[in-house]
């Protein structure tokens, strides 16, 4: 009789973070986004789709949130000239332990931690706005992640201290004249004009080719992120190292970006069109 084995579960001790730079196109500070990965004993690396469904359950969410913030804080301590961003969902933001975890860090550390608020649906916008006001006093920057023309109004309907937005890759595709379902180039460019007029930080996500940076900078985009700029890596880059990528981007832009092996990437993250980051 064949033995029935239990499915593998992503234990915290098997999770690690890779760091992908978010590079300034002109003046301004760069940072790196912490991307969670599951390192299995056989060397296989799995991404968020294999991790979050397990940890984003009510009885596990607070532990996972503390883990994510603590790991980001430790990385910032190890590299005192680096800035790092962490993704938090509205549900994570509302947890009582989230602010407490940040308050437990030295001010010089938490001031270098950026928070990216994900697009998860939520009903109590006033509670989110209140938490964001307290959060903003305890961290470096607060951004809305993966914004689109369809959801920006709803996500900003309450007065909350938002420093900027990360524009979803589907919008960036359309901005650059590539086919993107559900959005025209005209609508996408109008949206970029709106957010660049409204926020000092506007990040274009999913950039595969640095040649796009010149056009995006002309439209007012402040930062870029994607495989064409820099791949996720185990090391957290210093702010100066991230800024150096901007100079590298200027060199590469007239030609084509050079392929490089992905470090710790899952199969679905290999370049194929536009990346998720």
Is 270 a member of any domain? Answer: no
Is 6 a member of any domain? Answer: no
Range of the domain at 128: 12-253
Torsions phi, psi for 97 (to 5 deg): -80, -10
pLDDT of 199 higher than 80 = yes
Who contacts 236 (Cβ-Cβ below 8 Å, separation ≥6)? 19, 32, 75, 76, 78, 79, 82, 84
Is 4 a member of any domain? Answer: no
pLDDT of 197 higher than 70 = yes
Is 162 a member of any domain? Answer: yes
Is 157 a member of any domain? Answer: yes
Who contacts 241 (Cβ-Cβ below 8 Å, separation ≥6)? 21
Angle in degrees, 0-180, between the axes of helices 96-103 and 125-136, rounded to the nearest 10? 10
Instruction: List pLDDT tens digits, range 247-265.
Output: 766 544 444 444 333 333 3
Instruction: List pLDDT tens digits, range 60-104.
Output: 999 999 999 999 999 999 999 999 999 999 999 999 999 999 999
Is 1 a member of any domain? Answer: no
**Cα 269 to chain centroid, rounded:** 15
- More confident position, 229 or 256: 229
Query: pTM to 2 decimals?
Result: 0.86
**Residues, the chain, total?**
277
The pLDDT of residue 122: 66
Number of domains in the chain: 1
Confidence of residue 2 (pLDDT cuts 50, 70, 90): very low
Are the beta carbons of 22 and 237 closer than 8 angstroms? no
Is 269 a member of any domain? Answer: no
Looking at 30-34, 215-219, 246-250, which range is the least confident one? Answer: 246-250
Nearest to 22 by CA among 241, 212, 195: 241
Is 144 a member of any domain? Answer: yes
What CATH number should be reported for the domain holding residue 247? Answer: 3.20.20.450
């Amino acid at each position: 009789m064949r033995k029935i084995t239990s499915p593998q579960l992503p234990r915290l001790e098997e999770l690690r973070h890779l760091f992908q730079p978010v590079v300034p196109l002109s003046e301004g500070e760069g940072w790196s986004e912490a991307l969670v990965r599951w390192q299995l004993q056989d060397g296989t690396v799995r991404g968020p789709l294999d991790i979050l469904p397990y940890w984003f359950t009510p009885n596990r969410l607070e532990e996972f949130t503390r883990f994510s913030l603590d790991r980001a804080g430790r990385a910032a301590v190890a590299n005192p000239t680096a800035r790092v961003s962490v993704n938090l969902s509205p549900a994570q933001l509302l947890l009582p332990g989230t602010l407490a975890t940040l308050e437990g860090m030295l001010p010089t550390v938490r001031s270098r931690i950026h928070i990216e608020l994900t697009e998860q649906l939520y009903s109590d916008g006033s509670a989110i706005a209140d938490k964001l006001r307290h959060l903003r006093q305890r961290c470096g920057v607060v951004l809305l992640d993966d914004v689109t023309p369809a959801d920006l109004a709803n996500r900003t309907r309450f007065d909350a201290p938002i420093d900027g937005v990360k524009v979803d890759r589907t919008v960036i595709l359309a901005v650059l004249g590539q086919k993107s379902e559900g959005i025209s180039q005209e609508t996408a460019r109008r949206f970029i004009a709106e957010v660049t007029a409204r926020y000092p930080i506007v990040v274009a996500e999913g950039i595969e080719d640095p040649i796009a940076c010149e056009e995006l900078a002309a439209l007012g985009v402040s930062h870029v992120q994607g495989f064409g700029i820099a791949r996720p890596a185990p090391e957290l880059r210093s702010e100066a190292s991230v800024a150096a990528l901007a100079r590298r981007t200027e060199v590469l832009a007239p030609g084509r970006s050079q392929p490089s092996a992905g470090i710790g990437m899952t199969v679905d993250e290999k370049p194929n069109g536009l990346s998720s980051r």
